[in-house]
Amino acid sequence: MSYLWWKHGVIYQIYPRSFQDSNGDGIGDLAGIIERLDYLNGSEHSLGVDAIWLSPTYPSPMADFGYDVADYEDVHPGFGTLATMDRLIEEAHKRGIRVILDFVPNHTSSEHPWFIESRSSAESAKRDWYIWRDPKPEGSPPNNWIAQFGGPAWEWDQRTQQYYLHSFLIEQPDVNWRNPDVEQAMHDVLRFWMRRGIDGFRIDVMDRIVKDPELRDNPPQPRREFGKLAQTLLQVHQYDQDWPDIMDYVRRIRAVVDEFPDRMTVGEVFGTPANIVRYYGGQTVDGLHLAFNFPLVRVWGERWTAELVRRRVREFEAALPPGAWPNWVVGNHDVDRVATRMNHDGLAADRARLAALLLLTLRGTPFLYYGDELGMENTDIPEEKLQDPARKYGRGRDPERTPMQWTPSGGFSRAEPWLPYGDLTRNVEDERADSDSMLAFQRKLLWTRRRSDALLVGAYADLPDVPDGVYAFTRTRGLDRTLTVLNFDTRPVAFDLPSALTVAATLAATHGNPPPSQRLELRGLEGRLLQLA
């Protein structure tokens, strides 16, 4: 079997501010990540992940904690220097860990030199690097678009008497990718990092880098139930997202990445499976290597059922063109922790185990968010300690970004961390010593997966005849075959497996270490990974 790291490996997302602080300023940094690499891979004692994706590490005023980039070709001083990044790449590679950077092409910081120049005068050579427009005759913004974090997507510039577009914060002006000089400059950013040894890019807001050239008004969102959520859902993003010719830009990004061997891209896109797979390039699969598959992230509370999850997996598998490789996400830095999202009855910890079993045994690349391997939950943060500006317009994302929990007293920093710790009863040190812990369970899954051709490359098929509330699927590669069984119901269930599926061994289980048997007796929210004969 030919092993491709981004297909067969597990990608672990690190939020750099929150992983490890090395210099006692309470904020995580690259040297801190280096100190913790042994935790991630390099020996059989490690977690066993194959790549790390770092949320943005570039110089930034941190209006959106790094998603406002002031220089694409450097490292934020608080995180380290280019030399620290070089060392991180080298030390990671030594341990068999690839390094993926977060590329933020849709917008820069308003403090990026490009924008400073662009805004300096209407005649500036970089004026057209951003999206400037005259007001409507009565002075209002050029169209009705609203920013993702609330308010109009246009900001008035007094000096040059025009509006500029910002799909996110006012401090995040949208770049004009329709200008070939901009596209060239962005491609050169990718080359800059690949030359330094970066293995891939997670591409932020991939689906918005070009918009309707006529900037037409978006239609209103007819679904009223969105009313309580972020303002941005109040309109359909018909003209500022997934614009038809975006694939031309995506394909050219792919071509640049293909100039270097063994590199990858994963883009942030939303919507239906059909829309997601479009970004892989459709039948020609010459677009992104992976396009984030978020449907499992957008499931919470009581909606987390066997039927819904099975349907979502089927839909995505069915939509993928031949040659495109799936991926699965259950958590990231923008959504409630998986161990909190499904806590309507206080049983989220059990559901988080099921989610891990699902994530690590489905066909496709798993993305694992730091701390989810411990079962970290959202952290309740007192009002005065909240940081995320997005909270003013919808939900703030601080609760899922709190410091990694290494020891019973934290272990993230010798100073007070930039965000408070969550519940420290969940921490690496204690969970390592406990064979029933979430960490032990996930390590077992990760290492089982690494050694199993069925799990790495096997075909996926769900089992038709299972009791309500149960979702079960096989992964088959030649004679190697596994069966994942998940009881999404809180009540116990018992059933016999067909004789064609002969259970040979229990590879992992959410509860204890049940012996192999054809009759499955599962308690509520129990899941197992079985080796078939």
Catalytic residue among 68, 204, 377, 431: 204
Residue with tokens 């008035």, as numbered in its chain: 156
- Identify which of residues 58 and 406 has a Cβ nearer to ligand TEU in the complex: 58
Q: Position of tokens 């995580």? A: 28
Tokens of 291: 């396009």
The reply to whether 64 sits near ligand TEU by the rule CB under 6 A is yes
Side chain identity at residue 290, one-letter code: L
Q: CB neighbours (10 Å) of residue 56?
A: 25
67 binds, among Ca ion, ligand TEU, none (CB under 5 to 8 A by kind): ligand TEU
* Partner from ligand TEU, Ca ion, none binding residue 310, C-beta < 5-8 Å depending on class: none
293 binds ligand TEU (CB under 6 A): no
- Out of Ca ion, ligand TEU, none, what residue 315 binds, judged by CB under 5 to 8 A for its kind, is none
CB of 168 to ligand TEU, least distance (A): 4
**Rule CB under 5 A: which of 22-41 touch Ca ion?**
23, 25, 27, 29
Q: Closest CB to Ca ion among 30 and 250?
A: 30
Least Å distance, CB 218 to ligand TEU, is: 15
Q: Which is nearer to ligand TEU, 33 or 206 (by Cβ)? A: 206
Nearer of residues 102 and 526 to ligand TEU, judged by Cβ: 102
Report how far apart, in Å, the C-alpha atoms of 76 and of each of 19, 29, 30, 55 are.
16, 9, 10, 12
Closer residue to Ca ion in complex, CB, 21/155: 21
Contact call for residue 204 and ligand TEU (CB under 6 A): yes
Q: Is 259 a catalytic residue?
A: yes
Query: Is residue 397 within the footprint of ligand TEU (CB under 6 A)?
Result: yes
Q: Is 502 in the site for Ca ion (CB under 5 A)?
A: no
406: helix, coil or strand?
A: coil
Sheet holding 154-157, edge to edge: 132-133, 162-165, 154-157
Contact of 269 with 252, CB cutoff 8 Å: no
Copy the structure tokens of residue 507: 């590879």
Determine which residue in the list 39, 53, 72, 168 makes contact with ligand TEU, applying CB under 6 A.
168
Phi and psi for 507 in degrees, rounded to 5?
Answer: -85, -35
> Considering beta carbons, is residue 270 or 406 the nearer one to ligand TEU?
270
**Tokens standing for 8?**
């067969």
**Residues 278, 105: Cα–Cα separation, whole Å:** 19
CB 329 within 8 A of CB 293: yes
Select from Ca ion, ligand TEU, none the partner in contact with residue 58, using the beta carbon and a kind-dependent cut-off of 5 to 8 Å: none
**Least distance to Ca ion, CB of residue 22, Å:** 6
Task: Tell me the CA distances in angstroms from 441 to 324, 362, 449, one per residue in order.
Answer: 30, 16, 12
Rule CB under 6 A: say whether 67 interacts with ligand TEU: yes
Q: How far is the CB of 333 from ligand TEU (least distance, A)?
A: 6
474 φ, ψ (degrees, to nearest 5): -105, 155
Q: Residue 227: what residue type? A: G
CA angle 149, 209, 218 (to 5 degrees): 60
Q: How far is the CB of 233 from ligand TEU (least distance, A)?
A: 9
Q: Which does 231 bind (CB under 5 to 8 A by kind): ligand TEU, Ca ion, none?
A: none
Minimum distance from CB of 210 to Ca ion (Å)?
A: 37
Residue 334 binds which entry of ligand TEU, Ca ion, none, CB below 5-8 Å type-dependent: ligand TEU
Least distance in Å: CB of 284 to ligand TEU? Answer: 27
Task: Please classify residue 533 by burial: count the beta carbons closer than 10 Å to its beta carbon, then call 0-12 exposed, 13-18 middle and 19+ buried.
Answer: exposed
Of these, 84, 143, 148, 361, which contacts ligand TEU (CB under 6 A)? Answer: 148
Q: Which is nearer to ligand TEU, 395 or 511 (CB)?
A: 395
Tell me how far, at minimum, the Cβ of 95 lies from ligand TEU, in Å. Answer: 27
Evaluate whether 229 touches 131 at the Cβ level (below 8 Å).
Answer: no
The answer to whether 244 and 210 are in contact (CB under 8 A) is no
Pairing state between β 200-203 and 264-267: parallel
Residue from the set 21, 183, 372, 400 that interacts with Ca ion by CB under 5 A:
21
Please name the helix (run of DSSP H) or strand (run of DSSP E) that holds residue 474, with its range, or none.
strand 470-477
Interacting positions 240-269 with ligand TEU (CB under 6 A): 268
| 12 binds ligand TEU, rule: CB under 6 A | no
The values of phi and psi at residue 522, to 5°, are: -110, 135
Task: Pick from 74, 334, 430, 462 the residue near ligand TEU by CB under 6 A.
Answer: 334
State the DSSP code for 402: P
DSSP string, 241-260: SS-TTHHHHHHHHHHHHTTS
DSSP-derived secondary structure for 16-44:
GGGT--SSSSSS--HHHHHHTHHHHSSST
Q: Single out the catalytic residue among 188, 217, 258, 259.
A: 259
Cβ proximity to Ca ion: between 409 and 490 the closer is: 409
Q: Specify whether the CB–CB gap between 304 and 295 falls below 8 A.
A: no
Closest CA to 297 of 265, 325, 266, 270: 270
Minimum CB distance to ligand TEU smaller for 87 or for 395: 395
Figure out which of the listed residues 27, 99, 205, 454 binds ligand TEU, where binding follows CB under 6 A: 205
- Least spacing, CB of residue 184 vs ligand TEU, in Å: 22
Q: How many CB atoms lie within 10 A of CB 502?
A: 15
Binding region for Ca ion (CB under 5 A) out of 13-21, 87-95, 383-391, 482-490: 13-21
The residues binding Ca ion (CB under 5 A) are 21, 23, 25, 27, 29
Residues tagged active-site? 204, 259
The residues binding ligand TEU (CB under 6 A) are 64, 67, 104, 148, 168, 204-205, 268, 333-334, 395, 397
